[in-house]
């Protein structure tokens, strides 16, 4: 049976990466789709693990040869999901997790209408602000920009199949696991089992 395609989006400062990291560590059926990006690696990030880090020319080449299922400009860098990566992971029969912004989310939902789409919401904008301040990586102008971008992204949350609020991290993780569990049990994914049961001679 084909695995699920799971699209997860959230603005920065909402804890999406933490949720995905936990998900991958507790659910061995899930694999992460490693995107391409023109953004330079941050400390601790590994090429081929967190992203495929490429230069502008390489990204453009892949883009122009139709190598991306979707790509988008996010915070002045380009990010894209490669066709090759999706095909490789789908062939494994495992559930593929896509961590993309709302533009990528929209494209993937259009390309794969069966995709399980989850938008992670913050409990409040005040909480997003305090998480961004707590990171200590942005100045006040950058924080205002990220908060405005967050509002634009959150406005698209209704396009996703599920909304999970990350107020208490453990609960948000449980919610995502519950969604995946239920999605694996959808009747549309059991058609072969049903056919076999109906045909079974006893």
User: To the nearest whole angstrom, how small is the minimum distance from the Cβ of residue 96 to ligand 5GP?
Assistant: 12
3-class DSSP state for residue 164? Answer: strand
Q: How far is CA 181 from the centre of its chain?
A: 17
Binding mask 1-30 for ligand 5GP (x = CB under 6 A): -----------x------------------
Number of residues located near ligand 5GP, criterion CB under 6 A: 14
Report whether 52 contacts 35 (CB < 8 A).
Answer: yes
Interface pick for ligand 5GP out of 3, 24, 31, 39 (rule CB under 6 A): 39
Q: Which is nearer to ligand 5GP, 14 or 173 (CB)?
A: 14
Interface region with ligand 5GP, contact rule CB under 6 A, candidates 70-78, 130-138, 172-180, 184-192: 70-78
- Phi, psi angle pair for 42, to nearest 5°: -90, 165
Q: How far apart are CA 106 and CA 116, in angstroms?
A: 12
Q: How far apart are CA 82 and CA 86, in angstroms?
A: 7
User: To the nearest whole angstrom, how small is the minimum distance from the Cβ of residue 82 to ligand 5GP?
Assistant: 8
Q: How far apart are CA 153 and CA 146, in angstroms?
A: 10
Restricted to residues 103-142, the positions that interact with ligand 5GP (CB under 6 A) are 103-104
Question: What's the alpha-carbon Rg for the chain, to the nearest Å?
Answer: 18
Interface pick for ligand 5GP out of 31, 74, 143, 177 (rule CB under 6 A): 74
Q: How far apart are CA 18 and CA 186, in angstroms?
A: 27
Interface residue list for ligand 5GP (CB under 6 A): 12, 35, 39, 70, 72, 74, 79-81, 99-101, 103-104
């Amino acid at each position: 049976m084909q695995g699920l395609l799971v699209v997860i989006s959230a603005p920065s400062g909402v804890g999406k990466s933490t949720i995905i990291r936990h998900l991958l560590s507790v659910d061995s059926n899930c694999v992460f789709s490693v995107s391409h990006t023109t953004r330079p690696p941050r400390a601790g990030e590994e090429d081929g693990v967190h992203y495929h880090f490429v230069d502008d020319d390489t990204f453009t080449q892949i883009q122009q040869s139709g190598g991306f299922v979707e790509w988008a400009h996010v915070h002045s860098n380009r990010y894209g999901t490669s066709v090759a990566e999706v095909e490789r992971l789908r062939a494994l029969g495992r559930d593929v997790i896509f961590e993309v912004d709302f533009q990528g989310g929209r494209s993937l939902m259009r390309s794969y209408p069966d995709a399980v789409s989850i938008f992670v919401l913050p409990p409040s904008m005040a909480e997003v602000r305090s998480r961004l301040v707590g990171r200590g990586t942005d100045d006040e102008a950058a924080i205002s920009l990220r908060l405005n971008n967050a509002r634009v992204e959150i406005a698209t949350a209704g396009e996703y199949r599920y909304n999970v609020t990350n107020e208490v991290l453990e609960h948000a993780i449980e919610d995502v696991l519950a969604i995946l569990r239920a999605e694996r049990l959808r009747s549309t994914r059991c058609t072969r089992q049903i056919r076999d049961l109906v045909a079974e001679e006893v």
